[in-house]
């Protein structure tokens, strides 16, 4: 048997994965070319280019501007298709055995220069499935809410808004489904450009610049990690490669299975009876040759076996293999010929020496060394050798950059800078504040399941890396704590409703960062999911309420000022109701158990019991979460009471939101209330063994994190969570007391003494 | 009457040229020259058989070489004749093919032996001859479909020493003559335009529409030939496969006394540039319909110089002989300068003076370096087997161990000095950071199609020169200057990006941005890894495509009334949204935004250089991102489509039809750039052999790089 053993990711090949990101992209293209009338004009211009110069010159037809309904329908249909595809693929995924929950679809090769191997490869694992579902559901709903009368999506610019919308969603889905870091970078850039296009004016500029820097930081982190996997920099700064990319045979052992050397049938050399299985998922598109054969391996139908494939039966005994990434199979005559290149390969063909196959044992040819594929990086960190040590992980962890800082830590920190800029974490948040002043449906997209989430998502994706570096984890947690606390304070003290919501977003994403840093990855993901739904609901409801009262048109920026609002509930009862439910979902008070309750409980418990971090730091983080939850519930309820209750400062609005928009609001509010409950409920706090749905589903995604927590008693757990709930209730009670129905008219003057610290100048 | 006189004068001039070139042409032709006598020493003691011997080789018909092998029963066969012109008995002790396993010059399975069965040696009596048969039995599916080589004979004719005979297996392909003379045709097609245009100019023949048509036909033909080249080119060929790694090689002697040859070929390093020149030349020819005769500028002059510009550029890319290379270099830069002199405006004149200075300087530096290389090269054989003391042939110069000669120039190491001269010559033409003013002026003030060709293609010759001449001939010098290369690249990116956003004129902005992005190529080159070199080439190609799109469209913008500033860009966007959108996307793509065609080259170049130059690459990445963002900001003001509907309708119904030949011109490039963005793998595949060779040359794997795995390196026998 091979010397290397490990829980290499098993995968299924899914042929329809590309159907998830494609429809929004196609819809966007159709809208940009046809919806805008550009195509018709271009054709006409082409015709005129060859027209007789002396003839009459017909004027071009004016651009069609009345296509808003069709354009919206195209966008909505494409989103529904995308949602259906995501749902179908996710359902199929969760029907698999837990260790097989990984779908891969190799579309085509983009670049392959030496070890730099980037393909258009989409992957679906539990984490990306959850995220893809959240993104598609929320984006579809926002897509229906986009076309409210009076918004840009109902004007002559409909095509532009809808085209950018499609591009944005497609880019987010590319990030979510990307199998390699190169593709993540492409998706990130798409998110940045499309967000800028959606903003449509100078408000997006800052975001664009910051996000380009985020891409650079991520790219540098990835480059450092990539080269670090195959070499090291000497103290003089010279790069020395120490591990060429190579394929090695690894015996696939899932947790719970015995190690092959404990298997008596294999002792004393190769087993000659029974069949083993061969799995090759590296170097997509390559052919595999067995035992010096001149013709490649064939599958049971007689067709060539092209990587990636899994569990191909192989007769017991010892076999050697050669994997030829250069070869492509000719359809007729089974003759290999050169395919897409492997530029300048030191090893144009990868040879694997004789490897024994035991009965029913699976052997994978895994790529070790520099790679950009997330799966392959993770795989080489978990393999163990005969002495049960992790050779590649230990080797990587021993590397230093510049003599002091660990290579993994530095790479993580660079990725963290990128993710922080994307997710508008503490010092890099200004762009989101600027962008929040744009159209509200856009904010729903950016702050809900869009830009802000892709940054945090990448951190969750790279959990296996961050968990290797205590320093990077601590930095992540501290950054999250700073964001959570500072922005919760800002959110609780501003008057501009859009800023309140934007700062709230940053604060809640900061909590997710904090949870990631403490090693509580499932809790962080749950936090992202519940926050995204609740924030989308809040923004759509706020947009509907303010749109209906024509706040934006009448008073400009003042239309969003809480001091100018009040009593909206009477004018727009449905929006008020949706906003209220979403507030309750976000803050988990006054109705516990709904919305973000379980996310918050998991974070509280996860931070307090975290062993990744220093004990005092963990306790400090716990305190931060407590204060943040109090501030959040105070701030959100403050905004609700001030905007929707009390005396009306405006004349009664003429119209409530249209029916479609109302249905969207209802659906979003319902989702916000129930998503967290369904995904996060468990009896753990009461001492039972039941696992929350989401955590259970994500178990395989975070299996390498090695979550070790302090074991605490049931009473302690209840106490930890109960304390958090108490803080949240206190925040709500104070807000209700100060800003409820019977609030004094000079409430603003009274509170200015209370909040001396307002983050971000320019409070109007 | 005067027209006839001028035509006669032209014919006379041509005849004079042909006569002047006769001696060298004659050597190509039928008269077999006498035996070449290298330092003849009559005092050589006669061999034992009595009487001196003298060896001479000819082909089967008694002519000078090279011998052409003809297909015969699954292989190729050819004969050469060895003459003993002296009375004595000549012993040919060794008949060998030049090159061996360590240094392959030929595809495998070549043999050369005496036809009478004597094998590798033979005895030739006085005043008689023997035949030697050369055979090639290629593989069933050979990588190379042609071969060029030498048979070297060692005899007891001490005076002559080793003599050689060249032989060729002509390129075979589906299209016969077209395939075997592909590169010559690519050079001749634009030259034909130049000749016809100047003939028309001299004779005052008024047929400008015909000239336009001819230019379109000829550049279109270049595109078709480029497609043939793409189809026939095998990217996996490396130097180890023979023919020095080149394909579509044509080689014949021009002047044997000084060793100048007509030697052209393509490999992974230049194939992309050849394709790019053909494509952009065609797009420029379509867009040239916008160019009209105005005061002081004649269309015949314009088209003549345009043809010369394309010929020169193509010549630089395909030449494998340094004289041909330098000559093409001079023709290219000269044509660009003359195009500026032909312009009417005073600014154009001043730009022309700057361009003339830069061109002269660059050419002079290049010529000086070429001269130094030539004078210190080793004795060699020309394509027909003529022995020369020095050579201009690039592949032969690549084998010279310059470092072992321990030369000095100007008191410093010869290699470093020559490398620096070459670098300066190329830096002027790329152009690198402090030197880009003349180039941007030339690009902006020349007619737009010429500007597009200059920006897209002429800016690549410097990078290509660095690859082919600096890397190829002086790998040690290149290693020595790697950090300089990266630093120069970073400086170019930073300065180009800054200057671009400072420009009020849109054309200048595009030109500065485009020139700045060429810095990425240098960063990739300086890394010297496979990824870096491949990234440099891919970036050069995709940069050429997207920049050509952008500048052709800028030409459309400038043809509108207005000052060409950002306000006119805004008007342009309203009038022609499709043009303006494509222009904006092309500009963004040129900055390497992920997902767009420019990204893959930039990414590979920067990732490739990262391990070697971490700090500089980080600076480059940041500068690139910031300059892209700044450019985006600048464009944003113009492209924001916030005109109220009323305003829009007024604009849209303006009577002038928005005819757009520019759109037609860029359509093929547009399709190509979309393909490059989504599927760059074929381009990388096309370059793989060349990249691999260059990497081996400048950055051979050292003893350190032998894999030191941390633990059991995978599986052992079970």
Three-state secondary-structure class, residue B582: helix
Give the mean pLDDT of B262-283: 95
Dihedral of the alpha carbons of B422, B424, B426, B428, in degrees to the nearest 10: -160
Gap between the Cα atoms of B610 and A501, Å rounded:
41
Q: Are the CB atoms for B58 and B35 separated by under 8 Å?
A: no
B209 interface with A at CB cutoff 8 Å: no
A291 interface with B at CB cutoff 8 Å: no
pLDDT computed for residue B228 by the predictor: 92
Inter-chain CB proximity B581 and A223 less than 8 Å: no
Chain B CB contacts of A247 under 8 Å are 714
Chain B CB contacts of A4 under 8 Å are 712, 714-715
CA distance A420 to chain B (A): 17
Gap between the Cα atoms of A112 and B230, Å rounded:
20
The pLDDT-based confidence of B651 (bands split at 50, 70, 90) is: very low
Gap between the Cα atoms of B60 and B133, Å rounded:
10
Give the mean pLDDT of B413-437: 92
CA atoms within 13 A on the CB side of B423: 22
Residue B717 clears pLDDT 50, i.e. is over it: no
Find the CB nearest B636 among A57, A205, A352.
A205
φ, ψ at B72 (rounded to 5°) = -155, 120
Chain A CB contacts of B639 under 8 Å are none
The pLDDT-based confidence of A596 (bands split at 50, 70, 90) is: confident
Inter-chain CB proximity B578 and A38 less than 8 Å: yes
pLDDT computed for residue B139 by the predictor: 82
Find the CB nearest A59 among B603, B653, B715.
B653
Closest-approach residue (CA) in chain B for A217: B622
Residues B503-528 have pLDDT tens digits of 888 899 999 999 999 999 999 999 99
pLDDT computed for residue A759 by the predictor: 47
Q: Are the CB atoms for B586 and B668 separated by under 8 Å?
A: no
Three-state secondary-structure class, residue B238: coil
Inter-chain CB proximity A189 and B594 less than 8 Å: yes
Q: Which residues 6+ apart lie within 8 Å of A236 measured at CB?
A: none
Kindly state the DSSP code that residue A17 receives in the 8-state scheme: G
Give the per-residue SS3 of B205-237: CCCHHHHHHHHHHHHHHHHHHHHHHHHHCCCCC
Residue A460 clears pLDDT 90, i.e. is over it: yes
Closest-approach residue (CA) in chain B for A267: B718
For chain A, give the longest Cα–Cα distance: 92
Instruction: Give B371: exposed, middle or buried? Use CB within 10 Å, 0-12, 13-18, 19+.
Output: middle
Distance (Å) of CA A474 to CA A424, B261, B661: 19, 68, 60
Least confident of A30-39, B3-12, B261-270: B3-12
CA distance A338 to chain B (A): 8
Hey, of A187, A192, A344, which one would you mutate to test binding to chain B, going by the most B CBs within 10 A of its CB?
A344
Least confident of A297-306, A555-564, B59-68, B569-578: A555-564
Inter-chain CB proximity B625 and A216 less than 8 Å: yes
How is residue B197 written in tokens? 């245009």
Chain A CB contacts of B687 under 8 Å are 343
Q: How many CB atoms lie within 10 A of CB A614?
A: 12
Q: How many CB atoms lie within 10 A of CB B21?
A: 12
Q: Which residues 6+ apart lie within 8 Å of B702 measured at CB?
A: none
Gap between the Cα atoms of B684 and B421, Å rounded:
31
Three-state secondary-structure class, residue B138: coil
Q: Which of residues 632-671 of B touch A (CB under 8 A)?
A: 632-633, 636, 640-642, 645, 648-649, 652-661, 663-664
How is residue A715 written in tokens? 């009473």
Inter-chain CB proximity B715 and A4 less than 8 Å: yes
What are the sequence ranges of the domains in chain A?
10-44+63-243+397-466, 246-368, 470-680+704-745
Give the mean pLDDT of A10-25: 89
A220 interface with B at CB cutoff 8 Å: yes
Mean pLDDT score across all residues of chain A: 82
Q: Read off the pTM.
A: 0.89
Closest CA to A684 of A705, A727, A713, A724: A713
Gap between the Cα atoms of B444 and A416, Å rounded:
43
Hey, of A46, A111, A401, which one would you mutate to test binding to chain B, going by the most B CBs within 10 A of its CB?
A111
Residue A762 clears pLDDT 60, i.e. is over it: no
pLDDT computed for residue B638 by the predictor: 67
Three-state secondary-structure class, residue A702: coil
Gap between the Cα atoms of A463 and A473, Å rounded:
9
Q: How many CB atoms lie within 10 A of CB B227?
A: 13
CA A201 to mean position of chain CA atoms: 26
pLDDT computed for residue B30 by the predictor: 37
Q: Are the CB atoms for B204 and B3 separated by under 8 Å?
A: yes
Residue A320 clears pLDDT 70, i.e. is over it: yes
Residues B211-267 have pLDDT tens digits of 989 999 999 999 999 999 998 898 888 888 888 899 999 999 998 888 899 999 999
A213 interface with B at CB cutoff 8 Å: yes
The pLDDT-based confidence of B3 (bands split at 50, 70, 90) is: low
Inter-chain CB proximity A344 and B692 less than 8 Å: yes
Closest-approach residue (CA) in chain B for A318: B718
Chain A CB contacts of B692 under 8 Å are 343-344
Three-state secondary-structure class, residue A432: helix
Inter-chain CB proximity A4 and B653 less than 8 Å: no
The pLDDT-based confidence of B22 (bands split at 50, 70, 90) is: very low
Hey, of B710, B712, B716, which one would you mutate to test binding to chain A, going by the most A CBs within 10 A of its CB?
B710
The pLDDT-based confidence of A148 (bands split at 50, 70, 90) is: low
Q: What is the dihedral sign for C-alpha A658, A663, A666, A672?
A: negative
Gap between the Cα atoms of B533 and B699, Å rounded:
11
Find the CB nearest B607 among A2, A223, A341.
A223
Category of B401 on φ-ψ map: left (φ > 0), alpha (ψ -120 to 50) or beta: beta
φ, ψ at B243 (rounded to 5°) = 55, 25
Q: Are the CB atoms for B190 and B225 separated by under 8 Å?
A: no
Residues A398-416 have pLDDT tens digits of 888 877 889 999 999 999 9
Instruction: Report the percentage of chain B scoring pLDDT > 90.
Output: 43
Distance (Å) of CA B395 to CA B53, B469, B475, B534, B588: 33, 10, 13, 21, 39
B709 interface with A at CB cutoff 8 Å: yes
B703 interface with A at CB cutoff 8 Å: no
Residues A349-361 have pLDDT tens digits of 577 888 888 777 8
Gap between the Cα atoms of B474 and B468, Å rounded:
10
Q: How many CB atoms lie within 10 A of CB A597?
A: 25
pLDDT computed for residue A268 by the predictor: 45
The CATH code for residues B55-169 is 2.60.40.10
Q: Which of residues 300-359 of A touch B (CB under 8 A)?
A: 318, 326, 338, 340-344, 346, 352-356
Gap between the Cα atoms of A195 and A445, Å rounded:
9
CA A29 to mean position of chain CA atoms: 24
Residues B448-457 have pLDDT tens digits of 889 999 999 9
A394 interface with B at CB cutoff 8 Å: yes
Kindly state the DSSP code that residue A657 receives in the 8-state scheme: P
Buried b (16+ CB within 10 A) or exposed e, B177-212: eebbbbbebbbbbbbbbbbbbbbbbbbebeebeebb
Chain A CB contacts of B235 under 8 Å are 341
pLDDT computed for residue A61 by the predictor: 53
Inter-chain CB proximity B603 and A219 less than 8 Å: yes
Mean pLDDT score across all residues of chain B: 83
A454 interface with B at CB cutoff 8 Å: no
Closest-approach residue (CA) in chain A for B660: A49
Q: Checking DSSP bridges between strand A309-315 and strand A275-280, what pairing results, if any?
A: antiparallel
B213 interface with A at CB cutoff 8 Å: no
Find the CB nearest A395 among B235, B625, B710.
B710
Q: Which of residues 521-560 of A touch B (CB under 8 A)?
A: none
Chain A CB contacts of B604 under 8 Å are 111, 113, 116
pLDDT computed for residue B644 by the predictor: 38
CA atoms within 13 A on the CB side of B149: 29
Gap between the Cα atoms of A596 and B397, Å rounded:
73
Residues A687-716 have pLDDT tens digits of 666 677 787 778 777 776 655 566 777 888
Closest-approach residue (CA) in chain B for A363: B715
Gap between the Cα atoms of B422 and B466, Å rounded:
8
Least confident of A235-239, B54-58, B317-321: A235-239
What are the sequence ranges of the domains in chain B?
55-169, 177-699
Instruction: Report the percentage of chain A scoring pLDDT > 90.
Output: 30
Q: Which of residues 160-189 of A touch B (CB under 8 A)?
A: 160, 182, 185-186, 188-189
Q: Are the CB atoms for A567 and A645 separated by under 8 Å?
A: yes
Closest CA to B514 of B476, B559, B547, B480: B547
Inter-chain CB proximity A108 and B681 less than 8 Å: yes
The pLDDT-based confidence of B304 (bands split at 50, 70, 90) is: very high
Residues A226-285 have pLDDT tens digits of 999 988 888 777 888 777 777 888 888 876 676 666 555 444 444 456 788 888 888 888
Q: Which of residues 5-64 of A touch B (CB under 8 A)?
A: 36, 38, 41-42, 45-46, 48-49, 51, 57-60, 62-63
Instruction: Give A543: exposed, middle or buried? Use CB within 10 Å, 0-12, 13-18, 19+.
Output: buried
CA distance B528 to chain A (A): 12
pLDDT computed for residue A646 by the predictor: 82
Gap between the Cα atoms of A751 and A744, Å rounded:
11
CA distance B519 to chain A (A): 17
């Amino acid at each position: 048997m091979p010397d290397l053993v490990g829980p290499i990711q098993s995968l299924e090949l899914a042929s329809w994965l590309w159907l998830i990101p494609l429809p929004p992209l196609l819809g966007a293209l159709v809208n940009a070319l046809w919806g805008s009338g550009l195509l018709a004009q271009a054709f006409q211009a082409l015709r005129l280019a060859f027209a007789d110069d002396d003839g009459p010159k017909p004027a071009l037809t004016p651009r069609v501007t009345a296509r808003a309904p069709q354009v919206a329908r195209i966008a909505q249909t494409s989103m529904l298709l995308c949602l259906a595809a995501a749902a179908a693929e996710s359902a199929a995924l969760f029907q698999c055995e837990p260790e097989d929950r990984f779908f891969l679809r190799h579309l085509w090769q983009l670049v392959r220069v030496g070890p730099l191997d980037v393909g258009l490869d989409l992957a679906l694992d539990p984490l990306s499935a959850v995220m893809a579902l959240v993104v598609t559901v929320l984006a579809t709903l926002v897509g229906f809410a986009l076309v409210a009368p009076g918004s840009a999506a109902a004007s002559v610019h409909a095509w532009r808004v809808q085209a950018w919308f499609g591009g944005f969603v497609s880019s987010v889905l590319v990030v979510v489904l990307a199998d390699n870091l190169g593709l993540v970078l492409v998706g990130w850039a798409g998110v940045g450009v499309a967000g800028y296009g959606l903003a449509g004016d100078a408000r997006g500029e800052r975001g664009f610049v910051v996000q380009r820097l985020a891409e650079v930081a991520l790219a540098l982190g990835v480059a450092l990690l990539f080269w670090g996997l195959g070499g090291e920099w000497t103290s003089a700064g010279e790069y020395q490669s120490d591990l060429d990319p190579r394929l090695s045979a690894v015996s696939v052992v899932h947790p719970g299975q015995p190690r092959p050397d404990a298997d008596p049938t294999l002792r004393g050399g190769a087993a000659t009876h029974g069949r083993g299985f061969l799995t090759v998922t590296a170097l997509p598109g390559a052919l595999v040759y067995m035992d010096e054969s001149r013709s490649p391996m064939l599958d049971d139908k007689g067709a060539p076996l092209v990587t990636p494939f899994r569990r191909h039966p192989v007769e017991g005994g010892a076999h050697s293999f050669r994997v030829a990434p250069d070869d492509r199979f000719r359809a007729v005559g089974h003759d290999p010929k050169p395919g897409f290149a492997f530029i300048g390969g030191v090893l144009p063909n990868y040879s694997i020496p004789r490897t024994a196959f035991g009965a029913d044992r699976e052997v994978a040819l895994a790529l070790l060394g520099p790679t950009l594929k997330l799966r392959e990086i993770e795989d080489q960190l978990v393999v163990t050798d005969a002495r049960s040590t992790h050779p590649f992980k230990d080797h990587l962890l021993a590397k230093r950059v510049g003599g002091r800082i660990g290579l993994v830590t530095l790479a993580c920190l660079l990725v963290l800078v990128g993710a922080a800029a994307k997710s508008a974490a503490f010092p890099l948040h200004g762009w989101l504040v600027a962008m929040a002043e744009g159209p509200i449906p856009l904010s729903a997209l950016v702050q809900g399941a869009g830009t802000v989430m892709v940054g945090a998502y990448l951190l969750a994706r790279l959990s296996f890396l961050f968990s290797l570096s205590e320093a990077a984890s601590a930095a992540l947690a501290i950054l999250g704590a700073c964001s959570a606390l500072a922005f919760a304070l800002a959110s609780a003290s501003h008057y501009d409703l859009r800023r309140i919501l934007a700062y709230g977003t940053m604060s809640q994403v900061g909590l997710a960062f904090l949870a990631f840093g403490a090693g509580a990855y499932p809790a962080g993901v749950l936090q992202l999911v519940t926050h995204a739904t609740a924030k989308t609901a809040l923004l759509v409801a706020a947009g509907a309420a303010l749109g209906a009262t024509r706040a934006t048109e009448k008073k400009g920026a003042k239309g969003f000022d809480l001091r100018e609002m009040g009593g909206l509930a009477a004018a727009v009862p449905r929006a008020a109701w949706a906003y209220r439910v979403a507030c309750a979902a976000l803050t988990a008070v006054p109705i516990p158990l709904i919305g973000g309750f379980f996310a918050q409980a998991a974070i509280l418990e996860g931070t307090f019991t975290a062993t990744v971090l220093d004990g005092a730091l963990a306790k400090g983080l716990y305190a931060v979460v407590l204060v943040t939850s109090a501030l959040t519930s105070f701030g959100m309820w403050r905004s609700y009471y001030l905007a929707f209750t009390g005396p009306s400062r405006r004349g009664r609005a003429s119209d409530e939101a249209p029916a479609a928009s109302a249905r969207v609001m209802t659906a979003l509010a319902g989702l916000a209330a129930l998503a967290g409950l369904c995904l996060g409920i468990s009896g753990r706090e009461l001492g039972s063994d039941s696992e929350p749905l989401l955590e259970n589903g994500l178990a395989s995604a975070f299996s390498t994190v090695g979550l070790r927590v302090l074991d605490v008693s049931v009473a302690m757990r209840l106490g930890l969570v109960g304390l958090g709930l108490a803080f949240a209730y206190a925040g709500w009670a104070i807000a209700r007391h100060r800003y409820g129905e019977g609030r004094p008219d000079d409430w603003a003057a009274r509170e200015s003494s209370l909040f001396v610290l307002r983050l971000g100048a320019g409070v109007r | 009457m005067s027209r006839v006189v001028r035509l006669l004068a032209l014919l006379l001039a041509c005849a004079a040229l042909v006569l002047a070139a006769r001696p060298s042409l004659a050597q190509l032709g039928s008269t077999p020259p006498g035996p070449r006598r290298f330092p003849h020493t009559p005092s050589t003691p006669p061999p034992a058989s009595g009487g001196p011997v003298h060896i001479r080789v000819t082909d089967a018909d008694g002519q000078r070489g090279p011998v052409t092998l003809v297909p015969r029963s699954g292989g190729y066969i050819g004969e050469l004749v060895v003459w003993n012109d002296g009375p004595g008995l000549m012993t040919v002790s060794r008949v060998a093919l030049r090159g061996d396993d360590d240094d392959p010059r030929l595809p495998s399975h070549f043999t050369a032996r005496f036809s009478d069965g004597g094998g590798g040696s033979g005895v030739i009596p006085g005043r008689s001859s023997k035949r030697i048969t050369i055979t090639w039995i290629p593989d069933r599916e050979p990588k190379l479909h042609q071969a060029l080589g030498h048979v070297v004979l060692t005899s007891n004719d001490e005076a002559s020493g080793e003599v050689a005979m060249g032989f060729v297996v002509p390129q075979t392909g589906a299209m016969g003559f077209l395939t075997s003379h592909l590169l010559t045709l690519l050079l001749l097609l634009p030259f034909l335009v130049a000749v016809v245009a100047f003939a028309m100019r001299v004779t005052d023949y008024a047929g400008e529409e015909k000239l336009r048509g001819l230019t379109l036909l000829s550049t279109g033909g270049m595109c078709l030939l480029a497609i043939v080249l793409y189809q026939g080119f095998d990217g996996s060929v490396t130097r180890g496969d023979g023919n020095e790694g080149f394909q579509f090689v044509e080689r014949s002697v021009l002047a044997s006394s000084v060793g100048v040859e007509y030697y052209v070929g393509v490999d992974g390093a230049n194939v992309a540039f050849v394709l790019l020149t053909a494509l952009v030349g065609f797009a420029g020819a379509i867009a040239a319909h916008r160019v009209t005769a105005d005061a002081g500028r004649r269309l015949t002059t314009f088209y003549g110089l345009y043809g010369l510009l394309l010929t020169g550029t193509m010549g630089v890319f395909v030449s494998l002989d340094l004289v041909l290379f330098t000559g093409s270099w001079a023709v290219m830069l000269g044509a660009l300068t003359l195009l500026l002199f032909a312009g009417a405006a005073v600014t154009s004149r001043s730009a022309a003076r700057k361009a003339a200075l830069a061109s002269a300087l660059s050419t002079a530096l290049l010529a000086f370096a070429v001269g130094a290389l030539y004078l210190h090269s080793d004795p060699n054989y020309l394509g027909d087997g003529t022995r020369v003391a020095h050579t201009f042939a690039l592949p032969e110069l690549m084998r010279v161990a310059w470092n072992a000669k321990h030369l000095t120039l100007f008191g410093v190491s010869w290699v470093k000095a020559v490398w620096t001269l070459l670098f300066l010559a190329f830096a002027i033409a790329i152009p690198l950071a402090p030197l880009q003013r003349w180039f941007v002026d030339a690009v902006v003030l020349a007619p737009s199609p010429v500007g597009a060709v200059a920006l897209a293609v002429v800016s690549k010759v410097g990078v290509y020169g660095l690859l082919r001449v600096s890397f190829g001939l002086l790998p040690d010098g290149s290693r020595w200057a790697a950090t300089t290369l990266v630093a120069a690249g970073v400086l170019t990116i930073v300065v180009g990006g800054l200057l671009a956003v400072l420009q009020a004129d849109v054309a200048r902005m595009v030109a500065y941005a485009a020139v700045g992005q060429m810095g990425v190529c240098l960063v990739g080159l300086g890394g010297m890894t496979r990824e870096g070199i491949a990234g440099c080439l891919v970036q050069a190609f995709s940069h050429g495509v997207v920049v050509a799109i952008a500048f052709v469209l800028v030409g459309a913008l400038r043809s509108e009334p207005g000052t060409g500033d950002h306000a006119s860009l805004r008007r342009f966007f309203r009038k022609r949204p499709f043009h303006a959108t494509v222009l904006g996307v092309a500009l963004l793509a040129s900055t390497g935004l992920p997902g767009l065609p420019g990204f893959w080259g930039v990414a590979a170049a920067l990732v490739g250089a990262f391990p070697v130059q971490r700090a500089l690459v980080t600076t480059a990445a940041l500068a690139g991102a910031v300059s892209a963002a700044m450019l985006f900001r600048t464009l944003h003001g113009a492209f924001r489509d916030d005109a109220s509907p009323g305003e829009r309708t007024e604009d849209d119904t303006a009577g002038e039809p928005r005819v757009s030949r520019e759109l037609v011109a860029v359509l093929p490039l547009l399709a190509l750039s979309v393909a490059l963005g989504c599927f760059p793998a074929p381009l990388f595949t096309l370059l793989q052999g060349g990249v691999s060779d260059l990497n081996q040359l400048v950055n051979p794997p050292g003893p350190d790089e032998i894999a030191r795995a941390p633990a059991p390196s995978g599986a052992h026998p079970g």
